[in-house]
Amino acid sequence: MATGQRKGKRLNTALAAAVAHPIRTRSLAILGERVASPAEIARELELDVSKVGYHVTALTEAKLIEEVGSRPVRGAIEHFYKAVELPILTDEQEAELPLDERRSFAESILSLYVGNAAHGLDAGTLVGRADHHLTRFAFNLDETGWKEASDAYLELYERVFQIQVEAADRLGKTEEKPIRTVSFLSFFEVPATGE
C-alpha cells in the first residue's frame, strides 16, 4: 500500500530537477559562473546541442536559470542563460517569507550546491587541494546552543565575505591568477531519528 501511494507522488522540486541528470548539474555549474547558450555549453561539454538544450529547458522550468538575452545566428535565435541570482537574506527577511518561498529558496541554493559539487568532482578540483573543506556533522543542541551555533555560522559567513573583498583588492594589483572558489554554509534542523 505504501508503495502504491509513493508511486503516485513525484518529487517535483528545483532540487530534483537539478540532480536528475549529470548534464543538468554540469550546465547549472557553468551557468552559475557565467552567461552561456546551450550551444556554448554543448561545445564545452563535448555533447550534442539538442541534449543540452533539453536539460537547459528543464532547469529553466525549475526556475534555477533564466534567459538573459538572445541573438540571431544563421536564421535561428541563440538564447543565453544564467543561474538565478539569489539574494542573501537576513534572519528577519527570511522570517517574513511564507514557508513555500523559504523552501523554494533552499531548493535553489541546494541545487546550485549539487551542480557546483558535481562539476568540481568531475573536474578534480573539489578534492584537488589537500586543504579543501567538506564536513557533515550531526549533533544535538538546546535552544541556547542553537542560537550560538546560528550566530557562529553568520560570523563565519561575514569573515569569508571580508576575505573575498580583501583578496579581490590584492588581485586587482597583481598578475596573480585567481583561484575560483565556492563556499556553501549550511546549518539546519533535521527530523529526529525515526521521524
Q: Are residues 167 and 97 in the same domain?
A: no
Task: Give the pLDDT of residue 13.
Answer: 61
* Domain-embedded: residue 195: no
C-alpha cell at 69: 538575452
Residues 169 and 121 reside in one and the same domain: no
Domain that holds residue 85: 8-130
Predicted pLDDT at 91: 79
Burial of 80 (0-12, 13-18, 19+ CB in 10 A): middle
Count of domains observed in the chain: 2
Same domain, 126 and 139: no
User: Of 4-8, 26-30, 43-47, 74-78, which gets the smallest average pLDDT?
Assistant: 4-8
Summarize pLDDT for 76-112 with one digit per residue, the tens: 899 999 988 766 777 788 888 888 888 877 887 888 7
Together in a domain, 123 and 177? no
Torsion, CA 75, CA 40, CA 19, CA 16, rounded to 10 = -30
65 and 149 in a single domain? The answer is: no
Q: Which of 130, 148, 173 is the last residue of a domain?
A: 130
Q: How much is the pLDDT for 19? A: 64
Query: Looking at the structure, do residues 107 and 151 belong to the same domain, yes or no?
Result: no
Same domain, 46 and 96: yes
Q: Residue 3: pLDDT band by 50, 70, 90 thresholds?
A: very low
pTM of the model: 0.65
pLDDT at residue number 166: 93
Asked if 43 and 125 sit in the same domain, the reply is yes
- Regarding whether 91 and 150 lie in a shared domain, the answer is no
